[in-house]
Each structure stands twice: as structure tokens, then as C-alpha cells.
Amino acid sequence: MIPRGRAVAFVLLSALFPFSGSAAAQEPPRSGEPLHVAPAAKEAISRLRSPFCPGEMLEVCPSSGGAMLRDSIQAMAEAGMSADSIVERVIRQFGEEWRAEPVARGMGLWAWLLPPLMLIGGLGVVAAVLAHRRRNGGPEVSEAEPGPLVGPEDEARLKDAMKEMDEAEEPAF
């Protein structure tokens, strides 16, 4: 028989430090997050932005509303709903703007197609400009002696201004 004091200590320690095969491999749960998150819930949460923390994903939203939404997503996953169904249900409730990535149909298809099309178009423009320059020999370069930077009238005015400055700087003894 185990003495009563040791049994109580064992129960308390077991509650505080539950045994799990590899403690180093597990992350401690964030506050308000269940110990075991269903795979469907984890996937659904990673595909949603938070309606309670603008600009943040639902999985990192620290607000109580975000924690409640994560808990309800966990409950839906435990009830057997797939990640796609959960995401669609949350989107119906809160709105399309909370979807983390656009759908690949309708107007959302443009979000997937436009960036690569713009990249290909930009590369085409660069290639066309380079081919045009190569065909035409690049910008024309004159091998003649460069002309003066200022005309004769400007040069005369500059000399007069410099002469006036020299005269103004001379001490009057």
C-alpha cells in the first residue's frame, strides 16, 4: 500500500506535469488553445485571417474573439467537418475578406493569374527594348571633339562677374 501523503503528492505532480512520451517534441499550447488541435481545425485556422485582429492571421490573433473563433473551429472539426467546410462556414459568417488566400475561380482567379502575366509581359518589354537597341547599334555617340559648355556671350558675362568679385575682395588701403 502507498502511504496517503505520497499518493496525494503523486496526483498533484501528475496534474502539474503530465507524462507524454517526448516532452521536448511538443509545444506548449497558447492560452485559450486546446491541448490537441484536430488536423482539420489546424488547416482551417491557417487558411483564415482574423476578423478580430485586422492584418493578422487567425492562428496568431491574441484577442479573446480570436480564441473563441479558434475554439469553435476546433469543435466543428471534432464534429467531423472538413477544413474546406469549416473555412466556407467562417467566410459565410464574417465575409470573403477574411480568407487568407483568394479562391482560384471567378474574380479570385485574377489574383493568381495577373502577377505571372505581368512578370512575363515585363520580361517581354525588356527583351524587346534590348533587341531594338542591339539592332540599332545603341545610342549614337559622336567621336568629334565636344563643343564648349557655354556660349561666347555667357563666357564674357562670366569673366566680367569674376573680375567684379576680385575687385570687391581687394582691400582698400
Per-residue pLDDT of the chain (173 residues; tens, 9 = 90+): 445 555 545 544 455 445 444 333 444 455 555 557 788 889 899 889 888 888 888 888 899 989 999 999 999 999 999 988 999 998 888 888 888 877 666 776 777 778 888 999 999 999 999 988 888 876 555 566 666 677 889 989 999 999 999 888 877 66
Query: Measured on CA atoms in the order 50, 56, 61, 62, is the torsion positive or negative?
Result: negative
Query: Measured on CA atoms in the order 82, 85, 86, 87, is the torsion positive or negative?
Result: positive
Whole-model pTM? 0.45
Q: Does domain 37-101 have CATH number 1.20.58?
A: no
Domain definitions of the chain by residue range: 37-101
